Structure 1
Amino acid sequence: MKRVGIWLDKLEANIVVLNNGKENLTNIPSELDFFNPKGGARSKTKWGPQDVVQDSKYLEREKHQLKDYFEKIAEHISDADQINIFGPAEAPEKFMDALKTRHSHLADKVKKVETVDSMTENQFKALVKQSFGMDDRFPEQT
């Protein structure tokens, strides 16, 4: 049984695959552009026009980049039997929504979506094993 744990945020996704007592860790970078638009600039003349920041352009670009990022992750986990998703803020929920809309067969395999803070690689592996009820001494429990 192929069990997959994913920890993701807007920077990267760490994927642990547990299969037949073996574990494999993969990292997928998001390639998201982080926009930091500055406020509008004032004209040199008094009461002159101001430059307007177009937030909608930045948000639309981010939305498309997130979609591509989530597609890469879904492609990587397409053959999973069980999936648990972890991450900070709203990243896990956004990924779950993307799975529901575009990959319903994968969304049905998701057992847990949980908000967790940053952690080391070993902590993440332990969390994934614990979330599936596995122990290092007995690789294929459940």
Structure 2
Amino acid sequence: MKHIGIWIDKEKAHVILVKEDNEDMTTIVSGIENFRIHGGSGTRFKGGPQDVVQDSKYLEREKHQFKTYFKNVASHIKDADKIVIYGPAETGEKFSKELEINYKEISKKVKDVIKADSMTDNQTKALVRSYFKKDQQRIH
């Protein structure tokens, strides 16, 4: 049985493979740019030329970066038997939806998507281990 837990946010994903006596953790960096939209006056004079900000251009680029990131994470978990996804905000939900749409075989293996705040590596490993331990107890 290959049990994998993923702690994922916009910056990185920790893929944790739970084994009998320990966990293997792989970190995947997202490569998603953090951009700040700067607008405002291009001159110090009142009423000077204004910078036009194209939100849609940035959002489209971010969407493509998320797709590439999720594809990379999916390639690391494709041979798992059971998967649980953790993470803050909506990144975990976005990843789960991406799996449902484009990676149906992997999506069938996702048992849970749980919101969780940032944790240390050891806390993340413990969280994943305890999830699968409880899962095993429910089966027996």
- Report the RMSD for the aligned CA atoms in angstroms: 1.8
Residue type of the partner of 2:109? Answer: K
Q: Which moved more, 1:40-49 or 1:87-96?
A: 40-49
Q: Give the match's secondary structure for 1:133.
A: helix
Give the whole-Å Cα distance in 2 for the aligned partners of 1:21 and 1:58: 45
Residue type of the partner of 1:110? Answer: V
Structure 1 residues 69-92: Cα deviation after superposition (integer angstroms, max 9, x where no partner): 000000011100000000000010
Give the Å deviation of 1:22.
4.3
Contact persistence 2:89–2:115 (CA under 8 A): yes
Map of 1:40 onto structure 2 = 40
Structure 2: unaligned runs, 5 residues or longer:
none
Give the Å deviation of 1:39.
1.3
Map of 2:68 onto structure 1 = 68
Residue type of the partner of 1:80? Answer: A
Q: Which moved more, 1:11-20 or 1:60-69?
A: 11-20
The structure that is helix-richer by fraction is 2
Q: Which moved more, 1:41-50 or 1:4-13?
A: 41-50
Give the Å deviation of 1:42.
4.8
Map of 2:111 onto structure 1 = 111
Residue type of the partner of 2:50? Answer: Q
Map of 1:121 onto structure 2 = 121
Give the Å deviation of 1:33.
0.8
Q: TM-score, normalised by structure 1?
A: 0.88
Q: Which moved more, 1:54-63 or 1:35-44?
A: 35-44
Give the Å deviation of 1:30.
0.4
Give the whole-Å Cα distance in 2 for the aligned partners of 1:37 and 1:88: 23
Residue-pair matches, total: 136
Contact persistence 1:40–1:53 (CA under 8 A): no
Q: Give the match's secondary structure for 2:129.
A: helix
Q: Give the match's secondary structure for 2:10.
A: coil
Give the Å deviation of 1:37.
1.5
What is the correspondence of 1:13-32 to structure 2 with a 5 Å cutoff?
A: 13-32=13-32
Give the Å deviation of 1:44.
6.6
Give the Å deviation of 1:52.
1.4
Give the whole-Å Cα distance in 2 for the aligned partners of 1:81 and 1:49: 58
Residue type of the partner of 1:74? Answer: A
